[in-house]
Amino acid sequence: MTGDSDELPERTWYLVLLALGPAVWAIHFVVTYATVSVWCARLVERSGSVAPVRSAVIWYTAGAMVAIVLIGWSGYKRHSYGGQPPPHEEDTAGDRHRFLGLATALLAGLSAIATMFVGYSAMFFETCW
Amino acid sequence: MKSDPEPLESAPPPRVQRGQAERLIRTWEAPRGWRYWSEVNNSEVGLWYIGATLLFLAFGGVLAVLMRIQLATPDNAFLSADLYNQIFTLHGSVMMVLFAVPIFEAVSVLLLPAMLGARDLPFPRLSAYGFWSFAIGGVFVCGSLFFNIAPRGGWFMYPPLTTSYDGGVGADVWLLGLSFIEVASIAAAVELIVGVLRCRPPGMRINLIPLYAWYILVVAGMILFAFPPLIAGDMLMELERELNWPFFDARRGGDPLLWQHLFWIFGHPEVYIVFLPSVALVAMMVPAFAQRPMAGYSWIVLAAVGTGFLSFGLWVHHMFTTGIPGISLALFSAASKVVAIPTAVQIFCFIATLWGARVVRTVPLLFVFGGFTTFVIGGLTGVMVALVPFNFQAHDTHFIVAHLHSVLIGGTVFPVLAGFYFYYPLATGKYLSDRLGRIAFWLIFVGFNVTFLPMHFTGMRGMVRRIYTYPENIGFDTLNLVSSAGAVFLFAGFATFFWDLLRPKKHAPYAQRNPWKAAGLEWLAEMPAKPWGVRSIPEIDSRYPLWDQANLVRDVDEGRFYLPDAEEGERETILTTVIDARPVQVLRLAGPTFVTVWAAVFTAGLFIFSTFDMWSEAAVSGVLALVTILVWLWTGTSLIPEKTEKSIGLGLTLPLYATDHQPVGWWAMFITMLGDFTGFIGLIFGYFFYWTSRPDFTAHPQGPGVFWPTLALTLALASWLLTMLARRANARNRGPVFQASVLGAGLAAIASSVAMIAGPVVTGLDPETHVYPAIVWVIVLWTAAHLAVGAIMHFYCSARRAAGRLTATYDIDIVCVTLYWHFVAVKVLIAAGVLAGFPVLS
């Protein structure tokens, strides 16, 4: 156990990484919303087709999902470090590392569901309104 | 195997312990007499804060009762339409901004240090300043009702009603009074984030922190991204009301929908900003009543962080009926449904923890269960109104009133009341009455449901919100009467609660220590609590230290852990690292002072005088506020200690001044600037919003041209580079180079500010004519103001170095100013890029 501290020095970055999955969701959401808004407000008429927007949203969603899966995978790997199961509540560098990994993976999971659900909702539309 | 330090094997001799305790008391006890109000310690400020929020709760509650009396019968003339408008506007504003948000700040200021085994949060004077700002602003906003000049445009103040059809000062009271209070919230956010990240006890790694701290970290972060857009929106509306700049006037290119966007980017996360801290209280109570650890700690962290993020993707669901493209509505409808997942996860964790446990049935738990059921009803109607077609029908009816009260009272008020019964002994040393608590609970629970369940039907029958009366026999009579009858129970319940809180308890016995047998460090407190917070700061090995660490209370009490003394008579706490809580510094905390009170009074003067167009008085107040804040900074921050380090026990010696590049001041600056940057992005969003909503937005831009913004950018970047040069020169102790570069940076900043303003002036942009010049002007002014503040910081650093208060070793001032300038450089880059570049592109 004591060897953990040398192997797993504390990195504030891992706390930031925790929020990175939801941050990708947020970026996906904002970019999708901006695309839809600009398309519908500036580029087409009220009854104009949104087919190009749908294609764009598919690409955005695919890109966001790749990022989220990578983040989730990195979290899962850290969670599996040393093969100890949760609840990761020991006062050791190893459990701290595993906990941050697990939380990152869980948040990536939630972000994946949210990203796909939001992207999916745009697929039902033929026109802006 | 364990490498953590253990407490002293034997207690220090009683004489030593007594000496330590006396010195700690002398250092931490509050001043007496009228000087008591100069106290800044969290245990006092937290209590004042809670007291003030409860007063506002009572005020808002009385307003609610007046509304229910008015609506009890058809064609009622109890209140006039105008007074009714003022009352519902104030009721919503008071409950959200003067109760729900500040009660979280107040409770956190009081409890968070105790939960973290810290003596105080890192910026006690900032907390005090926040409290005084809040108290003055709150009294001002509420007091307006007694002069019949209260805001009357609804708590969300939609233009054009509030810009073109509301001539009084009511809307100004709202805009300026509440903006002022939002400053207090941002101050609290700074305090709480730095508190959670840097003031934990040694050994409390990030996987061991109390769940409360996770929630508070998330909520404080949300404040930084939610409140500034509203402050930006307030600024736009105030400029329209005072100076006729047409941001929301469609005839001159404006768009009232921009207000709705800015308001709800604040308003929806706001719901979660008030909900999550209350769930946080529940997360502290549930393990105590189940007498076992919380099931799914990591899942609750998922819920807190996930909800924090997702809550920002919901704001347009308040605007479904405004004619936004259906495809956009779908995105927000989807996000509104997804947020139910993390919200439900935490509820399931609580149920799993309580399930099968030998639960201790107490008044707080009663309120927790009442909160669960009420909140779930509100959550389910929330899923209903997240569906666009249903929303079209229910919008602006009493169905929404019923939904939002279920969410807010179930999600926020019930858990807070539970928290009062749970934590009251910690704050006062006495219990609240079990019998009165049960009476209050049943009155409130039954009263709530009798009031608000029928309101769903009143709404579905078509009764619109915010109308002061209705004709008889159109299907509203009985339902409204029932709701009003329920309100009587609700009122009686709250009256019982307040009586229990305030009734004299002089002769009541003190509560026993840790009365709920809970596991958190806050329960180390003696009954009544001592002013020092914690007798010695323990080394933490567990999520539930009072359950898992043998003899913890004894060891803390006997001073066997860290910092058991205050030899120098200075208030101190330990700073630790963000992830593993390794102790790195003894932080000297500021003591009592009136400077924070004066700073709040003068800041209040700036806003309040502006409300009544008393511009010269406002300007004088503003200057006095600036001077007071500079005095506060000069005399109370980045002080050079009398020695470089001190021993804090268990063989640990720590520096008394930050030796890394991220002192707490750096964190505070970083957090403040994140919030500030969000406000700026709100204005830039406005610029592009007008571009999408108005085809003619940049059709004939006369200004500000390319030259002036580019010149401003060049000068700002020069100032930024000189600031970094000054920091280097200071680190190498080259005084003259430092002075030359820091003064040069200040002058370049002023020149940049002037060049920024010269753009629209020289090109003759008149902000009253059209929204394009108006939004250009507001971005220019915002940027120029930040450049000017940056210049003041340069001159401040120059004076500090000249006075020997800033040296190569003691360099926090210039470290923080450099960070400020990183943000300013980015802002000027964006502002110049958009103002000069975008008209050319489009």
Q: What is the pLDDT of residue A6?
A: 63
Summarize pLDDT for A62-92 with one digit per residue, the tens.
999 999 999 999 999 999 888 888 888 888 8
Nearest CA in chain B to A111: B306
Q: pLDDT class for A1, splitting at 50, 70, 90?
A: very low
DSSP-derived 3-state class of residue B397: strand
Calculate helix-pair angle for B340-354, B297-310, nearest 10 degrees. 160
Chain B from 302 to 361: CB within 8 A of any A CB: 302, 305-306, 308-310, 312-313, 325-328, 330-331, 333-335, 337-338, 341-342
Tell me the average pLDDT across B817-828: 97
Statement: residue B312 has pLDDT above 70: yes
Q: Which of B658, B655, B636 is nearest to B646 (CA)?
A: B655
The token pair at B399 is 């169905």
Apex CA A120: angle with CA A114 and CA A123, to 5°?
Answer: 160
Tell me the average pLDDT across A100-116: 95
d(CA B58, CA B772): 44
Q: What is the pLDDT of residue B529?
A: 85
DSSP state of B574: E
Tell me the average pLDDT across B502-518: 92
Instruction: Find out whether B202 and B117 touch, Cβ atoms under 8 Å.
Output: no
Q: pLDDT class for B1, splitting at 50, 70, 90?
A: very low
- Above pLDDT 90, what percent of chain B? 87
Q: Which residue has the tokens 């001032």?
A: B813
Q: Which of B137, B154, B135 is nearest to B55 (CA)?
A: B135
Statement: residue B266 has pLDDT above 70: yes
Check the CA dihedral B173-B179-B185-B187 and report its sign. Answer: negative
Apex CA B715: angle with CA B713 and CA B720, to 5°?
Answer: 90
Contact B298 A33 (CB under 8 A): no
Q: pLDDT class for A48, splitting at 50, 70, 90?
A: confident
Q: What is the SS3 assignment for B547-560?
A: HHCCCHHHHHHCCC
Summarize pLDDT for B744-792 with one digit per residue, the tens.
999 999 999 999 999 999 999 999 999 999 999 999 999 999 999 999 9
Statement: residue B596 has pLDDT above 90: yes
Q: What is the pLDDT of residue B478?
A: 96
Mean pLDDT of chain B: 93
**Phi, psi of B149, rounded to the nearest 5 degrees:** -125, 25
Statement: residue B123 has pLDDT above 70: yes
d(CA B687, CA A27): 20
Instruction: Find out whether B515 and B540 touch, Cβ atoms under 8 Å.
Output: no
Q: Does B710 touch chain A (CB under 8 A)?
A: no
DSSP-derived 3-state class of residue B585: strand
Among B100-109, B354-363, B782-791, B814-823, which is the least confidently predicted range?
B354-363
Q: What is the pLDDT of residue A81?
A: 86
Instruction: Find out whether B149 and B168 touch, Cβ atoms under 8 Å.
Output: yes
Summarize pLDDT for B64-77 with one digit per residue, the tens.
999 999 999 999 99
DSSP-derived 3-state class of residue A48: coil
Partner residue facing B341 (CB), from A29, A89, A113: A113
- Above pLDDT 70, what percent of chain B? 99
d(CA B565, CA B20): 5
Mean pLDDT of chain A: 89
Partner residue facing B310 (CB), from A36, A102, A114: A114
Q: What is the pLDDT of residue A5?
A: 59
Tell me the average pLDDT across B76-90: 95
Contact A91 B541 (CB under 8 A): yes
Statement: residue A2 has pLDDT above 50: no
Strands (E), B621-767: 645-647, 653-655
State how far residue A67 is from chain B, nearest Cα, in angstroms.
Answer: 17
DSSP state of B31: P
Q: Is B404 left (phi over 0), alpha (psi -120 to 50) or beta?
A: alpha
Partner residue facing A125 (CB), from B308, B330, B337: B330
DSSP-derived 3-state class of residue B834: helix
Q: pLDDT class for B358, splitting at 50, 70, 90?
A: confident
What b/e readout covers B222-244, taking b as 16+ CB neighbours within 10 angstroms?
Answer: bbbbbbbbbbbbbbbbbbbbeee
Summarize pLDDT for B230-240 with one digit per residue, the tens.
999 999 999 99
d(CA B759, CA B775): 13
What DSSP line would sit under B174-198, residue for residue?
Answer: HHHHHHHHHHHHHHHHHHHHHHHHH
Tell me the average pLDDT across B660-667: 84
Q: What is the pLDDT of residue A7?
A: 74
Partner residue facing B578 (CB), from A12, A95, A128: A12
Chain B from 503 to 522: CB within 8 A of any A CB: none
Statement: residue B164 has pLDDT above 90: no
Q: What is the pLDDT of residue B694?
A: 83
Q: pLDDT class for B310, splitting at 50, 70, 90?
A: very high
d(CA B510, CA B260): 51
- The whole-model pTM stands at 0.94
Summarize pLDDT for B528-566 with one digit per residue, the tens.
888 888 999 999 999 999 999 989 999 999 999 999 999
Instruction: Work out how many CB contacts closer than 8 A connect A with B.
Output: 144
The token pair at B744 is 């040069």
Chain A hits for B268, CB-CB cut-off 8 Å, are none
